[in-house]
Chains A and B, each alone.
Chain A
Amino acid sequence: MGAGRLYAAVVAGGFRRYATYRAATAAGVFTNTVFGLILVYTYLALWAERPSLGGYDQAQAVTYVWVGQALLSTLAIGGGGAETELMERIRTGDIAIDLYRPADLQLWWLAADLGRALFQAVGRGVVPFAFGCVFFPVSLPGDVGTWLAFLVALGLAMVVGFGIRFLVALSAFWLLDGVGVTHLALLVGMFCSGMILPLNVFPGALGEVVRLLPWSALLQAPADVLLGEADPAGVFVFQAGWAVVLLAAGRLVQAAATRRVVVQGG
């Protein structure tokens, strides 16, 4: 079996695994829609006070909300991706099994997480987004090219998201209990990805800094491509750059971490 086919099978497995829980998916769709509704009204009030805040008009701000709700679980910005399971396997020692599989640890989990993300995008993302487009004034691109660019940016965002969460998960090799790190990752992720407020609304230097961090590749970057607020090529370079840096860092940490593993004889 070629390596490509192996990882493709893992992607498909990750997709099918999440697709199994239909009731949970429906519940997630409902919850994302409710949160979207709440956020949309607060954004409408904000943009009513300051039209064209952050360079968005009201319709763009509304679109941003629904893109955010569609991508929250897809990119696991609030946690709940492959890293949760990976951390548990490190804590329990099951990671030893993963390490003697004839597959690369990082690529294996990247593939599994991509499968999950692809399902979440289709299963949990599309419906809240469509709901928002039907019931609120949104700003969507008319040309296919922008939509394709959005999908490319989304794919890159998935890789960057995994890169961040893989590093978070590997910290369990040293800390064992990953609850604290998971919380911190959630906190930074929500703030710096633009999930709580678009990054272009952040004031002054703070806004400049958060837009350079890897988290801005998650939500802000694809959203700006979709809204026609950013040059797709520049966004792709930014996202791909962070993806490479994060995956390389993951490799280094993984090498250091696996030297620590001691498999107890049984």
Chain B
Amino acid sequence: MAEGGAGTGARAAGERGAAAPAGEAFPAGGGDGRVRAGLRTYGLIAGMWIRSTMAYRASFVMTVGASFAVTGLDFVAIWLMFSRVDALGGWSLPEIAFLYGLCGVSFGLADLAIGSMERLGRRVRDGTLDTLLVRPAPVLAQLAADRFALRRVGRVAQGGLVLGYALAALDVGWTPLKVLLMPVTVVSGAAIFAAVFVAGAAFQFVAQDASEVQNAFTYGGATLLQYPPVVFGQEMVRGVTFVLPLAFVNWVPASYVLDRPYPLDLPGWTAFAAPPVAAGCCALAGLAWRAGLRSYRSTGS
């Protein structure tokens, strides 16, 4: 593994040179090893941060609880709304909980895995990104695992709890296809949000101080998806369907499962389009990331 690691390092360093051939990052035989090295790096760094977090154990317990509760605040808002009304845009509380749960688990998984990437802007600003560039490990993996925050399991757990409530309270006419669609939707949704995080990090190479823009798409997107599409303006729904395809995280698959009309009258097969959409998002995010990393110039000192 040591040789593999060193080889990866050479490639990672090579990535910075503008002259690096485009095909080099995916060499015929080495692509698999590169992914393995990346995952191993990720695991090592994440493990280190978990141990570090455990040094302040009381604070860790508080932050997991707080992460759970802070995320839950959105649902408390919805629940408070439903203490005064019976439906929102024609959707009942369990139906909205279904949307909320799907989005919460997907976003929580993406946030847990690579949410730390939003710190890239800070690293560019204070120059500590350079340290990562000279290490013999993929930069993306190092950044994704940087300050790995185990407390974010609180978010996943909270989303899962709401999803569990929704499934218990809803009277869904389950078919094998619908059952199969559930895990596929969660994984695809997590991949779509992960792509948004990576694209956001790539944007920070350019934006630096403006890193907060990313929050509008990550946290903002997650908030948007908690409510049914009928609530929002048509332009907004079009934007999150065709431009930034967040609608495939939960709106479209949930419409199929709940036998509701699709947003924007999309055709029926789109309920199953989440995996290719997610793959497309990840590919685009990967390209954006490579472009961002190539454009990076250290401040020097």
Contact = CB atoms under 8 A, between A and B. Distances in A.
A67 to B, nearest CB: 17
Contacts of B216: 30-31, 34-35
Interface in B33-88: 56, 58-63, 66-67, 69-70, 73-74, 76-77, 80-81, 83-88
A149 interface: no
Contact of B212 (A28, A37, A187): A28
B207 A46 contact: no
Interface stretch (A7-15, A19-27, A82-90): A19-27
B134 interface: no
A41 B70 CA distance: 22
Range, interface on chain A = 35 or more
A30 B216 CA distance: 8
Interface string A113-146: 0000000000000000000000000000000000
A136 to B, nearest CB: 11
B73 A27 contact: no
Contact of B210 (A23, A175, A196, A201): A23
A38 interface: yes
Interface string B214-236: 01100010011001001111001
B280 to A, nearest CB: 23
Interface in A192-244: 196-197, 201-203
A190 interface: yes
A184 interface: yes
Given A38-B224, A42-B227, A201-B80, A183 B210 contact: no
A35 B220 contact: yes
A201 B220 CA distance: 23
B200 to A, nearest CB: 11
Main secondary structure of the interface of B (DSSP, over half): helix
B67 A45 contact: no
B81 A180 contact: no
Given A27-B213, A41-B227, A183-B67, A50 B236 contact: no
B209 interface: yes
B52 to A, nearest CB: 11
B62 A183 contact: yes
Contact of A24 (B60, B77, B209): B209
B211 interface: yes
B77 A196 contact: yes
Interface of A: 21-24, 26-28, 30-31, 34-35, 37-38, 41-42, 44-46, 49-50, 53, 175-177, 179-181, 183-184, 186-187, 190-191, 196-197, 201-203
Given A191-B76, A197-B77, 7 more contacts: A23-B209, A30-B216, A38-B232, A41-B227, A45-B231, A179-B62, A180-B61
